[in-house]
Amino acid sequence: MFMRTKSLVSATALLLFSSVASAGLALPLPVQIDFAGRTAIGSMYAARTSANAFEYIGCGVRFGVAGPIFAFCQAGLGEAAEQQFACITTEPALIEAIHAISAFSLIVFAWDEEDNCTRIGNSTQSFYLPDFKDKKK
């Protein structure tokens, strides 16, 4: 009886830990906007899968035949204008930074008092990726 119980506990523990181990580290980073500090941060996947229907973050570039026209980054946490923000830039270095953003990147950007982007960063890490084995309904 004792052996049987022990085996059952071991099997359960193995099953539990193996499933955790196969998922890897996950750090979904929801969107945060610091209007006073003029920065926004968040992972696109966390925003897209958020329970908050107004949460978003991202950057974009507009090109003309002569090259980039301008770029922008934006983030939002609510429907009201005060809960959203967008900055723009025509600086080639910042536009270049946007090219490195991938679908599951974490994005961080900052802006000045004129709403010009002053910093655009991204981080592409395994812990921002979705659990592809997790089949959501």
Partner 1 sequence: MKPLHVLVALLFLALVIGVIGVVTTRSDKTLAKSSDGSAVAARANVQAELSSDGDHPCPDELQLRRIIREELAVLPAAVLARQTPQDANAASRSLTEGAGFNQSEFVNRQIDDYIRAGTISESEMAALQGEIGRLDVAGRRQALGVLVRAINSGILEGRL
Residues engaged in binding partner 1 (CB under 8 A): 60, 62, 64, 69-70, 72, 74, 80-82, 84-88, 90, 114-116
Q: How far is the CB of 46 from partner 1 (least distance, A)?
A: 20
CA 75, CA 31: separation in Å to the nearest integer?
7
Residue placing its CB nearer to partner 1 in the complex, 56 or 127 = 56
Hey, what amino acid is at 16?
Answer: L
For the chain, state the CA radius of gyration: 21
Q: How far is the CB of 86 from partner 1 (least distance, A)?
A: 5
Residue placing its CB nearer to partner 1 in the complex, 59 or 128 = 59
Residue placing its CB nearer to partner 1 in the complex, 69 or 100 = 69
CA 29, CA 134: separation in Å to the nearest integer?
18
Those residues whose C-beta lies under 8 Å from the C-beta of residue 119, and which sit 6 or more positions away, are 39, 94, 108, 109, 110
Q: How far is the CB of 84 from partner 1 (least distance, A)?
A: 7
